[in-house]
Every structure is written in structure tokens, then in C-alpha cells.
Amino acid sequence: MRIYDQFYINGQWVAPVEPKLLDVINPANEEVCAQISMGSEADVDAAAKAARAAFNSYGYSSREERIALLERIIEVYKKYYDEVADAISEEMGAPTKLAKGGQAHTGLGHFQSALKALKTYEFNEELGNSEIVMEPIGVCGFITPWNWPINQIACKVAPALAVGCTVVLKPSEVAPLSAYVFTKIMHEAGVPAGVLNMVNGDGPAVGTAISTHPEIDMVSFTGSTRAGTLVAQNAAPTVKRVAQELGGKSANIVLEDADLEKCITESTLDMFSNTGQSCNAPSRMLVPASKLAEVNEIAARAAATVVTGDPKAEGTTMGPVVSDVQFSKIQSLIQAGIDEGSELLCGGTGRPEGLEKGYYIKPTIFTNCNNDMIIAREEIFGPVFCIIPYNTLDEAIAIANDTPYGLAGYIQGKDEKTIRYVASRIRAGNININGSYGDYDTPFGGFKQSGNGREWGPHGFVDFLEVKAISGLK
């Protein structure tokens, strides 16, 4: 069992001010796999002060110095790549193939993208009679989630370090193991003392302390919309900049001319990837009403190929959800879908056959739904999606936008003119066509209650920079 009872503050592993341990549960078997210390306001205070002191030098470092640092981080990350993947699989149940090929790779990808952007990013420009300078905002507080743990750490830390900011990081206490490996990587790569600080804990204690601390200049939060609003409220008295990547209930519009066999199969399997625990999951599939029966047949057939089980077992394509809390929530929402009259195409309540222990959910599809149903409106965050029939293209667009969220949208079809029309009408930050996703340079973020600001690539630098105008030098 792993024991991670220290925090990383000012370049050293230190004991918490008030010792308090939390058991970390392996979702695949419901057994304790680690213990971590839970931080307090005092620990955050020490981390924030270390980050402020470090900013006085790191905030004025040269582009060349920061390029060299990112290059070292990338090389050390490669050394610990498998250890990162193993930690992710253990802490949140990702199958080995996903943990290595997808989850762990995001950490490497974001640092490589930030390095590329840093080499050419324009921090200065001449405008009228002034010089416009982009400077690091200062000390950044990062509160990250459990569903893509390294992805959400790296896509914040990489651009922050690239532009000269210092960091106080609170990873999820539900899935904290990979964050310790990440912090070890940063230390071995020679990140200067105080530039990265890591304090574990929960939202009410450590998250609140980060969002209210006067030495922290901005907060970047990824998680639920409910928690995101609390972070913004807590940050308001000190007028921090707040960047948020929040919930989603993304529509997947299947057009009349789509290749149904291909797109329904791929979309169904995409929905069950990461056990449905992705904020941009295509959880509402909108299909022409005349093709509903055919869609149902293809979707059910695709779902039947999903192999649910032990993340470490060869052939597993879908592991458990992350915790008992998530398991119970998803079970109740599946039951709500049944109770409100949705047609259960496959799956349902209870664990899959043969899996008596672990937070496993049956791959579940509801069909012939309408957008007023609970399962069409709430972010389930599990391997559950609904199929909604539509009669006209404008009706499909209206259904897609009939949600408080706006993180992503998906379109399946052949006619480029129609696809561009639909893409221009969906109110969401990322539109994915025919199974394509953006790369690490593509800005990621949402409209409406899915958040504000953008992460990934050169656009991910913006939230960590202040604009200074220097006039009168000419």
C-alpha cells in the first residue's frame, strides 16, 4: 500500500501542519490502496507564501530558461511514464490500455505543446505609441479533478510554468496517486523551489483556502458547475481571475446522410470510453426519427462488445467508475430514466454479471427519449447515454442547445455545407466532426455553465498573463 503523508512545499517534502490521513480506495476492488494526508488552511498558507517568494525570481526568468525547464520536465516524464499510467489505473480504474495510451500521454502532450508555443509566443507588441507587454499573472491556484487526473494537472501547470507563473496545486483527494508521481517528476527535473507546490485535501478545506488566499492571484478549477460557482464566489473578495472548466451534456447530432454503421458504432464506444467519466462525453445522441430503429440496433450491438471488468485484465475495455459516491449517483439516475418511461435499450441498474465487487456499471443506453427527461438534462458522468429522435435539422439544433451547458458538440454526416451550418449554430466551445477531436494545440473550454477561459496549446497561455501598456518610450 502506498503511503503519501507529505506535501511538496518550497522544493521539499514536508509533513502537514495538522496530521490527518485519508484512505484512498481502489475502485476496481473497493480495497484501500493508499493513504494520503489531508491539508488545512495552514498548509495552503505555507504553499502560497513559498509560491509568492519564488515568483519574485521565476516571474522574471527568461524565455530560454523556461524552455530549458520544460525540456527537462518532458525528459523526466518519459522516464516515469509507466509509473504515471499505473497510478492512474489504480486510483480511478482506467483500463491499462487507456491509462497508458490515453491518460498518461496527456501529461507528456501538454508539456510538449506548451514548449512549442513558448518558443514562438509573442509576449510583446508595438501598438500606436505604446509597447504592449504580456507578463505572468503571478501565483496560480489549481484545483483539479479525478476523471482525467494528469491531463487536468498538466494542461494547467505546463502553460503556467511556460509563461513564468508559480503554482499551488490541489489534486483530487479521490484520485491523488498520479499527482504524487507528477510532483516527483517536477522535483527531479529541477523545478526551482517554490515554483510548484502541492497540497492534498478536500474542497471545503484546501480548495476554499486556495480560492480565498490573498497571495494567490488566479484560480483555475476543473470540476462540477456547482463547485465551480463556489470557487468563483470565494475568489471574488480578493478579485482573483477565475478560469473554470465545468460540466457538460454534449449533443451528438447524426445527420440524414451519415454512415450509420460507422458513426453509431464509434459514437457508442466513445461514450463508454473512460467509463463515461469525461465532461465532454457525447451523452445525448440526436438521430433522425425515421432511422431510430436502425440506430437502436447498431448501438445495442456496439454496446455488447464492451468488456467491463478488472482494469489490469487483458481485454478489458471499460473499468469501474471512480467511487461509491459516483456508483450510487449513477444507479439512481439509471433508475430515474426507467421510472420516467425511457426505453431501456441495454444495461440498467446493478453491477454487470460476474462482478460482485468494485464500482462497475452496466453499459447503459436509453432510447426514444425526449430532452425534458432527467437523463437528458443531468450530467450523469458514467457509461449511460440517451438517444433522442428529431424530425428536422433545426429541431436537432434546438435540442442540442436546450441545456445550461456548452462544452462540446458532435456532428456526424457527409455534406460539408450542412456540417458547417450545424457547427456554427451549436453553442459550445468544441465541435468534433465524424469522430475527430482536436490535438494538444486546440483550445479546450466551454460556453454557458460549462465554464470560461480556455486550456491547451497557445490559447492556454492567455489566462496566465496580464496585459501591461508602456507608453511614452518613443
Is 245 catalytic? The answer is yes
Among residues 279, 346, 369, 386, which one is catalytic? 279
What CA–CA distance (Å, rounded) separates 392 from 382? 29
Element (H, E) at 63: helix 63-79
Active-site hit among 91, 215, 245, 379: 245
Return all residues near 158 (Cβ < 8 A) that are at least 6 apart. 70, 110, 111, 113, 114, 460
CA–CA distance, 49 with 335 (Å, rounded to integer): 48
**First-to-last C-alpha distance (Å) of the chain:** 64
Q: Are 84 and 148 in contact (CB under 8 A)?
A: no
What are the two backbone dihedrals, phi and then psi, of residue 137, each rounded to the nearest 5 degrees?
A: -70, -25
| Residue 318 C-alpha from the chain's centroid | 18
The string of DSSP letters for 257-298 reads TS-HHHHHHHHHHHHHGGGG--TT---EEEEEGGGHHHHHHH
Cell (9 digits) for 243: 478560469
Residues 320, 272 contacting (CB under 8 angstroms): no
Element of type H or E holding 445: none
Q: What whole-number distance in Å separates Cα of residue 394 and Cα of residue 382?
A: 29
Q: Alpha helix locations (H) across 101-246?
A: 104-120, 149-163, 177-188, 208-212, 225-235
φ/ψ of residue 319, rounded to 5: -95, -160
DSSP 26-46: ETTTTEEEEEEE---HHHHHH
Residue where the block lists cell 501542519: 17
Give Cα separations from 95 to 91, 109, 274, 275, 432 (angstroms): 11, 20, 8, 10, 24
Chain-centre distance of CA 451, in angstroms? 12
CA distance 245 to 98: 22
71: exposed, middle or buried (C-beta count within 10 Å: 0-12, 13-18, 19+)? Answer: middle
Q: What is the DSSP letter of 176?
A: -
Q: How far apart are CA 16 and CA 30, in angstroms?
A: 27
Which residue, among 391, 403, 1, 47, has the nearest Cα to 196 in the 3D structure?
47
For the question of residue 386 being annotated catalytic, the response is: no
What are the residue numbers of the active site?
Answer: 245, 279
